[in-house]
Structure 1
Amino acid sequence: MPRTHPPIVVESYCAEWPEIFTKEAKLIQRFIGTYITVIEHIGSTSVPGLAAKPIIDMLIGVKSLADTPRFVAALQKLDYVYVPEHEADLPERRYLYKQKNGEDTFHLHMVETGSEFFSRHIAFRDYLRSHPESVAEYASLKFRLAREFGSDRAGYTDAKTEFIQSIERAAQDKES
């Protein structure tokens, strides 16, 4: 059954987001540390000053996706929900989420360390962290789109795509 979502809420940056990430990352490390190489804070909550939906995105580098049944079972003990349906579009990623009071609090994006997905998300985050003008532009866009799209998460996400791709290109050019 598809999940229903409350209206999209974009909040001003919260200085507690990095601490929330660190606490949860330590918990995850204790449960599945043997399967992973790194846990990175990604997404808008990882960029100081950037407005975001109050959901902590974690990029978890795993040694091998062949270990999926084992690390998913361990994460389910921490109340994470595994969504294998997403693998039809992104076979290189395992996606899980955690909720509190019916709202998402954490999203886990589990990929093999060194994959294109991994590198692209780190480059995007790092570019924004060093370009405050892009952070301001992205925040403005996110607030506008949240008002425009209400509960339509797919529409909200699709409407951000052009901006995100422009940042990904800029990040790639910076690395070249």
Structure 2
Amino acid sequence: MVLVASDPAWPTAFAAARDEFLTILPDPLLIEHIGSTAVPGLSAKPVIDIIVLVDDMARAHAALPQLAGLGYQYRPDVSNPARLFLRRIGADGIRTHHLHIHTDQDDVRRHILFRDELRADAATREAYQALKQGLARRHGDDREAYAKGKDAFIDAVVRAAGGPERRPFWNS
């Protein structure tokens, strides 16, 4: 796991990906830049996370071939009925984007609320930064352990901000 310094080009990369996505599914209910690359000043894995809220998952499934044409790979192993997960791999074989397509408004709200709390509160952002750096050192080759190590912190921040509780994906 390699974290890099915040890059001011990340919002532009999100906007370009968003515009591409909108040519395929032109009427999502919401499309947002989430994750650490959406928080100025926060180090991150250099992967642009995009979350999309749709009201019809069947239309999103139907768009998978077109998304594949843009370089997105559908990951059914980490998707569920309320969420499709896709990743985009660059020419160098490195992940560049994650696309999260949801029908679960609460899950989308959790992601946006957490991002907004990090943007607004320097102490929370610094604590998250320290947690991520420690997890990257301990779990550099274990993406799942790195992600799970952040769960309690994220849940606490979202809970303190009045957000919805995390639900296991199999109950979505």
TM-score by length of 2: 0.88
Out of 101, 108, 125, the residue aligned to residue 118 of structure 1 is 108
1:31 maps onto 2:24 in alignment: yes
> Superposition RMSD on alpha carbons, in Å?
1.4
Shift of 1:162: 1.4
SS in 1 for 2:85: strand
Contact 1:123–1:172, Cα closer than 8 Å, also in 2: no
- In 2, Cα distance between equivalents of 1:37 and 1:158: 29
SS in 2 for 1:91: coil
- Runs (4+) of structure 1 exceeding 2 A deviation are none
- In 1, Cα distance between equivalents of 2:61 and 2:112: 26
The corresponding residue for 2:73 is 81
Contact 1:10–1:53, Cα closer than 8 Å, also in 2: yes
TM-score by length of 1: 0.86
- In 1, Cα distance between equivalents of 2:151 and 2:33: 20
Number of residue pairs the alignment of both structures matches:
162
The corresponding residue for 1:104 is 95
1:146 maps onto 2:139 in alignment: no
Pairing of 1:1-176 with structure 2 (within 5 A): 8-34=1-27, 36-87=28-79, 90-100=80-90, 101-112=92-103, 115-172=105-162
Shift of 1:99: 0.6
Amino acid at match of 1:108: L
Contact 1:31–1:75, Cα closer than 8 Å, also in 2: yes
Shift of 1:37: 2.6
- In 2, Cα distance between equivalents of 1:12 and 1:160: 19
Shift of 1:42: 0.5
Amino acid at match of 1:139: Q
User: Percent identity of the aligned residues?
Assistant: 36
Higher mean C-alpha displacement, 66-75 vs 100-109: 66-75
SS in 1 for 2:53: strand
Which ranges in structure 2 are unaligned for 5 or more consecutive residues? 164-172
